[in-house]
Structure 1
Amino acid sequence: MIEGGKISYKQMILLVFVSRIIGWIAFLPVILASPANQDVWIDCLMAAPIHLIVALPVYLLFKKFPNQTLYEYSQAITGKIGQWVVGILYIWFFIHMAALNLSNFSEFFTTIIMPETPSLFFVITLTLVSAYAAHKGIEVLGRLSEFIAPIIMIALIGVVLLLVKDMDLKELTPILEKGIYPSILTGLSPVAQTVEIIGLAIIFPFINDRQKIKKVYIFTPLLLGLFLFILTISVIALLGDDLAKSLTYPFYSIVRLVHVGNFLERIEAIHVAVWILGMFIKTAFYYYLIVLGLAQLFHLKDYKPLILPTGTIIVSLSNVLGQSIVELREFISFNIYTWYTLFFILFIPSLLLLTATIRKKGERSR
């Protein structure tokens, strides 16, 4: 196996948590998903059960192929040609996600923090440190997540507690104004954004206790759902849904509202520092999934020589995507991004699972 490292199931949960929650901290795109009203906090409660359903094919594929990544068992299921098709699709997908992540990172800094600095500076800096982490392998990513995740959790909960006194719960009403169906549909939005679901299909074989995989499958959406609920209810209760929808960075906006006496204010610098740590983990995770996939697809002995060339591709694509912010915003909207990502995290795994079942491939079929 190209990757000899192992991580614990807790590290795996925290790796996915950090990679996903950090995007919500910046944009909180669920508030823009239809029906885009004050019921968005209810939509977040729908996300966890929907996540379990969407991730089920990935979990069942692992049960059939416990020692192989998605890149590897796609050959066992569909043959060499099928492996190449699946492999290239997912490598493109993670390259695209990494480039989008870098574009979002540079956009935040050039818009809010350092508008005079070229965006390419932020893109290259984050790419280099992420490349170094990916070079060190899955064990280092797991340990970093174990260190950074509690910092993010404490920071988020701390901000919310400091702002509780200013929240107006009336902003959360009326409840289910447009019925339950729109809330169920909107619950798809945060799940579709959790592209880390398909990342699990690649890193499941590297867990050091295979008996704990079910805990990863169950507790990951519960943890994500809890913090998404906290983030969303805080933003809506403080800003109202109309103002929240008009802001590019709604959670950052409420962080700037923190004011306790004359001694605790302007803590957004801490928020930005925490966000940078999370974006580093997220980019490094995608980076690792790309180079591991390339190495397995081309049957290389080591993925590390691929790190620098891959970084060049990601930076170039990020630069192209960042040239049109309007088009980028349109792409990551509910109507496009949701169905684009679901094709990769639900449709393809479901098709692979169905094919494996029909062709009686995998350990449970023998």
Structure 2
Amino acid sequence: MIVTAANVFVVPVGNRTGVILELETDAGITGIGEAGIAYGMGIEATAEMVLKMLRARVLGRDAGEIELIWSDIYDRGFWTKSVGAITTAALSAIEIALWDIKGKALGVPVHSLFGGTFRNRLEIYANGWWMGCDTPQDFATAAKRMVDKGLRGLKLYPLGLMDPVTVIRHPTRRRVSRDTLNLCINRVEAIRKAVGSEVDILLDMGGGVHADQLRYLMPRLEPLDVGFIEEPIDPAAPENYASLRSPIPVAAGERAYTRYGFQRMLQAGGIEVLQPDVCNTGGLAEARRIAALGEIYNCSVAPHNYGTTLATVVSAHLSATIANFQVLECFPDFREEPGYVPLIDTPLEDQIEGSTVPVPQGPGLGVTLRRQDVEQHLWKRLVFEK
């Protein structure tokens, strides 16, 4: 199957923007993938990076040579080594789309190509439920609403402040006011009181604050039975994770790329939960290598998933095939986000039962791009010319 054409879409999906790739082959089989830069800066640059990689290393090649194509891009892309988000996100989208093609060609789900599944349903936790919340009571009310729906894991950004542009404003210069530190504690206390003891409260610090402020925060959060604390330290300096001394498990990996980035993080120590994002860390096969690396360090894996509904499906295929899977991030209220555009048919977010989603079972990724909804968001089309 020769890759004959490609379409790149840049699709608004509420509070995120999906960079979506569709590959076409001469066998009439298509595959889709996502580049995991759905927020922050770099969305347009990533779309262009996907196109650059396609022109140089993908169009006109056999779609079944997934590892060879991956290695050619990685080895010959120059900036793909000593990696960064834009290059590895673009590479991820390509790799995922190729696996989708292979699964469809063989008539099997992608997860079967990796040896089958450990589980048929996946535990999830909710993100996004906190949008519009500010006061501790706001958070408590919204949290209780999610728990009443059956969710048993909730993540929030307790140091985050409302922002009209970015939805939530993370700490800058690794420092916040004492009032914000106390607001963080009060928010978590209110949530715990509202949801009881059987719900996991997960905290994302968005890149962290200085050690003195962590020293103030951590002892006050410990009695609240926090499930994990994500990126309490700037991810650019993973060696500092080892300095944390707290019974709260530390999670990280949203901004670590390929097995090399995770090896550095694991060697530094101090992390118990790995959070590779399949759509920006190098793709499905690379995320599985990262999970295997994590097993050596006795770490569980909670895949980061802050993309579109397609990213959730891709993450589900990974989660089903790794032994040390813990929980998957999910946005149950995705349809309520302003400007939402349907991207795929049968998203897993519409199939939540209690606190789990099913593992996709159709050929390839098991979902179809909603062409009628995304066509107007076509960024660029490439066609192979012999």
TM-score of the aligned structures, taking structure 1 as reference length: 0.27
> Hey, which of these two has a bigger chunk of strand by percent?
2
TM-score of the aligned structures, taking structure 2 as reference length: 0.26
